[in-house]
Structures are given as C-alpha cells and as structure tokens.
Structure 1
C-alpha cells in the first residue's frame, strides 16, 4: 500500500509518448501547444486609435477638421499643427498626431472642433508594439488553448497550430450484478452507473471515451476484454473487480495481459483498492466499483495522467482553501477525500460520505481533504479541489 503522495508522484513521473499534430485553429480548443509561439510582428503593428473620436496635432482646445480615417484605411494622413481628423476605433493614427480625444468630449461647428478639456500627449493612442513586440514569446509549449488563446493566435495571422494530441481512452465496467439503465432489474441487481459518471468526467475535462465495454465477473471474459481494449487504447480505465473478493479478477487479468503494476492500494478513504500499471507506452487504471470511490479516484489520480499525456504543464486539479462552515473531525481510519459543497459562505462537508453514495457528490461541487485524525473548528481553512 502506498501513500497519496507516493501514488501521485508515481503517476506524475511517468514518461509519456504523446503525439504531435498540426491542426487548423478552429480545431485546437482544449489542446496543449507542442511548441512555443512567438510574435511574428509587433502588436499592434501600427499606432491606432483606442476609441471613436478625433486625432489631434498639437495640444489645444480648438482645431480645424481636415479629414477622416476609418478602420482599415491604409493611406498615410499628414496633419499640421492645429489640425484634426475624425478617427474610429482601430484606425491608424497619423504619424504627426499628438493625441486622440473621444467624441463625447467634443463639439463640432462646421469644420471646427472644440474640446471640453485639454488633451494629454499620447492619450487614447495604442502604440505600436505596446502589447507584443516582434520575436517576443507569446504562449509557451504546454499552454492549454482556451478561447482567448485562439483569438490571440488568430490576431497573429496564424491559422494552423502544432498541438499535442489527447490519449485514446477505453473503459471497461465489471460486475455480475450490473444491469444497463432502461432494462428490467431483478432483486439483487443494480443499475450500472460508473460508465456514465466516468465518461461524463472525461468530457468535463476535454477528453473522450473512445470505447466502453461491460463484462461479467469472469476471469477469461475480463482477460479477453482487456486484451482487446489494449490493442488500440493509450489509457485503459477499468471500474470494479479490483478488490480482494472471490470474483475480483481485474488485477490478475491486467497482469496476464502484460501490464506491470506500479502501485496497488492507496492509504486513503474512499478509493483504497486503486490499481495503476503500465505496459510499454500504455497505462491502466483499475478503479473501485463503488461510485463515489470511482469518481474520487478519477479526479485525484486519473486526470493528472491524462493531462500529462496531453502535454499539460499543470497536472491535477488545483488546491484551494476555504473556511469551514462548521466543526469537523476526521473519525475515519485514513486520510479522506470528503464530498463537500463550496459557496460564497465557505465549505460544508456533506452527509452521505459512504463510498457507495453518489447523491452527495452530485449535490456537491468539491472534494475536501482531511488528514488522519485532523480536527477543524468553524472558520478554519480546509483544503478543497473543485470538481464542478
């Protein structure tokens, strides 16, 4: 059995063989850059107006209006001292302009412009290179592309990007007692839910489950299903069958398929019977079958591996500290991840902490972490990972 820290160190230290792809800009949201992006030119590439108004030559209260410059105009406009031109947001500012005055602080009579206040040198002019200079690092390798990133890259004139592809993920759920939702259920059976929860968690963080299988608690069937999945997947997630019962065949089936155990069992609650292994450039997780345990292990352990494979530099959900809304003492026999809800008032540990209870996780939005025997008073800060 390993500690939480040892398990995470094992996962984060794994070398991965991620694939680099060149994709159109509209297809790279959520992917990580495989190389740095540097500015190919100054940004802005010319002095331009920050607002609709008038470009002024000299600093006075009265000017003669001699023309207009619209956004996109490429002509050079020369201004003499005391002259002004109507200008629009984003338009190129004449080289001799001293400032731009917003139109709300002006009055026009014929071709004469009157200002409500004295302009200041350089006001409302976006200077060439003020945001980025040619050759400057814009985004580092490993940056995960968000909508703003796409806009930034597009503003640099780039329409294709080199990114790191995400892993191909397969999932297997095990259990004789499992029945697919929508089918009739007999006494002693339960509806299978972990595949929906894990697939949803994958999608929440930008990943997809390419294949899902459900197998009975049968060694040969489990072994063959793992073999079939590992023919094409990068990461295999198995739910259930990893404990020490007479019908828990997953660990043996993984190892007979050539998967090398990296750790088995973590000193924590819930999710103690967690397995992590590797076969060449493939990885396998075997998660506990109880729904809350399975999801907890996904958020804490599976996600960092998927992120590393995908080229992310920040691995795992970040920790935050929130004031606890009530007293709490960890009476469990292990360090624990607790289903919690965080609001503007702080964090609340929810009822229903059993590993089979998923309603409390559905109503919550965080996992709070408490060490073995740790005690909290109302208002104490507690560590949490936000899961939704």
Structure 2
C-alpha cells in the first residue's frame, strides 16, 4: 500500500513518449501546443480606434469635419491640424491623429465637430504592437488551448496548430451482477453505471474513449478482454474486480497480459483498492467498483496521467482553500476525499460519504481533503478540489 503523495509521485515520474499532430484551429480546443508560438507580426498591426467616435488632429474642442474612416478600409487618410474624421471601432487611424474622442462626448453642427471636453494625447488609440510585437512569444510549449487562446491564434492568421496528441482510452467494466440500463434485471442484479460516469468525466476534461466493454467475473474472460483492449489504447481504465474477493480477477489478468504493477492500494478513503500499472508505453488504472470511489480515483490519479500524456504544462486539479461551514471530524481511519459543496465562499461536507453513494457526489461540486483523525471547527480552512 502507498500513501496519496507516493501514488501521485509514481504517476508523475512516468516517462511518456509524447506524440504531436497538426489540427485545424477549430478542432484544437483542449489540446496542448507541442512547440512555442511566436507572433508573425505586430498586434495590432496598425494604430486603430478603440471605439466609435472621431479621430482628431491637435488638441482642441472644435474641429473641421473632413470625412469618414470605416473598419477594414485600407485607404490612406491624412489629417491637418484642426481637422477630424468620423471613425469606427477597429478602423486604422489617419496619419497625424492625436486622439480619438468617443461619439457620446461630441456634437456636430454645419460640418464643425464640437467636443464636450478637452482630448488627451493618445486617447482611445490602440497602438501598433500594443498587445504583441513581431517575434514575441505568444504561448509556450505545453499551453492548453482555451477559447481565448483560439481567438488569439485566429487573430494571428494561424489556420492550423501543432499540438500534442491525446491518449487513446478504452474502458472495461467487470461484474456478473451488472445489467445495461434499459434491460430487464433479475433479483440480485444492478444496472451498470460506472462506464457512463467514466466516459462522462473523460469528456468533461476534453478526452474521449474509443471502446468500452463489459466482462463477466471469469479469469479467462478477463484476460481475453484486457488483451483485446490493450491492442488499441494508450490508457486502459478498468472498473471493478480489483479487490480481494473470490471473483476479483483483474489483477492476475493484468499480470498475465504483461502489465507491471506500479502500485496497488492507496491509504485513502474512498478508493483504497486502486491499481496502477504499465506495459511498455501503455498504462492501466484498475478503479474500484463503487461509483464514488471510481470517480474520486479518476479525479485524483487518472486525470493527471491523461494530462501528462497530452503534454500539458500543468496537470491535476488545482487545490483551493475554503472555510468550513460547520464542524467536522474525520473518523474513517484514513485520509479522506469527502464529497462536498462549495457555495458563497464556504465548503460544506455532505452527508452520504459511503463509497457506493453517488447521489451526494452528484449534488456536490468538490472533494474536500481531511486527514485521518482531524477535528475541524466551523471556519477552519479546508483543501478542496473543484470537480464541477
């Protein structure tokens, strides 16, 4: 058995052969850049107006109005002292423009522009190179592309981006008692739900699964299923069958398929019977069968590996501290990731902390970490991982 910090260290130490690919800009959301991106030109490329109004030459309160400049026009306009032109947001300011006055602070009578206040030099002008200079670093290798990143890349005219490939993921669920939702079930059977949770949490963080399969609790069937799944994936996620019961065959089946165990069991609640292994450049997590345990292990251990596999510069869910809204004592005998709800700057540890209780996790939005035997008072600060 390993501690939480030891498990995270083992995952972090894994060497991964990163692969890269070229994707269209519109398909790059959530990918990490595989090389530094430098600006191909100044941004903005030219001095332009920050708003609709009037471009002014000289600092006065009256001007002779001599024309108009719309956004996108390439014509060269020159102003003389005391002249002004109507201008629109994003339009190139004429040569010799001293300032731009917003239209709300102006009036026009018989071709003369009147200002409600004196302008200031450079007012409302976006200067050439004010955001980026040509050759300047835009994003470093490992930067994860969010919507604002795509906007900036698009403004640089970059139609395709070089990014790290994401891992291919397969999912296996095990258990004789499991029945697909929508199918009739007999006494003693339950509906299978973990594969939906795992597929959903993959999608939540920008990953996809290729295949998912259901396997009965049988050693040969488990060995065969794992063998087939490993033929086409980088990361295999197995749900259930990893404890020490008579029908838990996942661990010996992984060994039979050449998977080297890196750790088995973590000193925590929930999710103690967690397995992590490697076969060459493939990785396997065998997750506990209880739903809350399975998801907790995904958030804490699977997600960092998937992000590392994808070339992310930073991996794992960030930790935030919130004051506790009530007193709480951890008497589970192990360090615990507790289902919690963060609201209005405080965290509430929810009822229903059992490993099989998924409703409390569904109603919460965080995992609160409380070490073994700790007694907390209202207002004490608690480490939290936000999960939604």
Asked if these proteins are the same fold (TM beyond 0.5), I'd say yes
**Structure 1 residue 77 displacement after superposition:** 1.1
Q: Does 1:381 align with 2:381?
A: yes
Name 1:165's counterpart in structure 2: 165
**Residues 18 and 310 in structure 1, CA contact (< 8 A), matched pair in contact too:** yes
> What SS does the corresponding residue of 1:306 show, helix, strand or coil?
helix
> What SS does the corresponding residue of 1:183 show, helix, strand or coil?
coil
**Residues 48 and 125 in structure 1, CA contact (< 8 A), matched pair in contact too:** yes
Q: Distance in 2 between matches of 1:23 and 1:177?
A: 43
CA deviations 1:236-261 (Å, max 9, x no partner) are: 00000101111111011001101001
Name 2:139's counterpart in structure 1: 139
Name 1:234's counterpart in structure 2: 234
**Structure 1 residue 177 displacement after superposition:** 1.1
Name 2:85's counterpart in structure 1: 85
Q: Does 1:332 align with 2:332?
A: yes
**Structure 1 residue 18 displacement after superposition:** 2.3
Query: More deviation in 222-231 or 105-114?
Result: 105-114
Q: Distance in 2 between matches of 1:209 and 1:39?
A: 35
**Residues 69 and 87 in structure 1, CA contact (< 8 A), matched pair in contact too:** yes
**Structure 1 residue 209 displacement after superposition:** 1.2
Q: Distance in 2 between matches of 1:296 and 1:165?
A: 25
Name 1:95's counterpart in structure 2: 95
Structure 2 length-normalised TM? 0.99
**Residues 54 and 103 in structure 1, CA contact (< 8 A), matched pair in contact too:** yes
**Residues 98 and 122 in structure 1, CA contact (< 8 A), matched pair in contact too:** yes
Q: Distance in 1 between matches of 2:354 and 2:116?
A: 69
Which 4+ stretches in 1 moved above 2 angstroms?
none
> What SS does the corresponding residue of 2:285 show, helix, strand or coil?
strand
CA deviations 1:142-197 (Å, max 9, x no partner) are: 11111111110010011010011111100100111111111111111111111111
**Structure 1 residue 85 displacement after superposition:** 1.0
**Residues 325 and 345 in structure 1, CA contact (< 8 A), matched pair in contact too:** no
Q: Distance in 2 between matches of 1:290 and 1:55?
A: 67
Structure 1 residues 136 and 287, CA gap change in structure 2 (3 angstroms):
same
**Structure 1 residue 217 displacement after superposition:** 0.6
Structure 1 length-normalised TM? 0.99
**Structure 1 residue 345 displacement after superposition:** 5.0
Summarize the alignment of residues 100-119 of structure 1 with structure 2, pairs less than 5 Å apart. 100-119=100-119
**Structure 1 residue 73 displacement after superposition:** 1.3
> What SS does the corresponding residue of 1:32 show, helix, strand or coil?
coil
**Structure 1 residue 47 displacement after superposition:** 0.4
**Residues 55 and 94 in structure 1, CA contact (< 8 A), matched pair in contact too:** yes
CA deviations 1:242-289 (Å, max 9, x no partner) are: 011111110110011010011011000111110000001100000011
CA deviations 1:214-242 (Å, max 9, x no partner) are: 01110000000000000111000000010
Query: More deviation in 127-136 or 178-187?
Result: 178-187
**Structure 1 residue 338 displacement after superposition:** 0.5
> What SS does the corresponding residue of 2:313 show, helix, strand or coil?
coil
Please tell me the root mean square deviation across aligned C-alpha atoms, in Å. 0.8
Summarize the alignment of residues 249-328 of structure 1 with structure 2, pairs less than 5 Å apart. 249-328=249-328
**Residues 63 and 114 in structure 1, CA contact (< 8 A), matched pair in contact too:** yes
Q: List gaps (5 residues or longer) in structure 2.
A: none
Name 2:10's counterpart in structure 1: 10
Name 2:75's counterpart in structure 1: 75
Q: Does 1:216 align with 2:220?
A: no
CA deviations 1:15-74 (Å, max 9, x no partner) are: 112221111111111111111111111100000011111111110111111111111111
Q: Distance in 2 between matches of 1:84 and 1:292?
A: 67
Q: Distance in 2 between matches of 1:362 and 1:370?
A: 20
Name 1:20's counterpart in structure 2: 20
Aligned residue pair count: 388
Q: Does 1:44 align with 2:49?
A: no
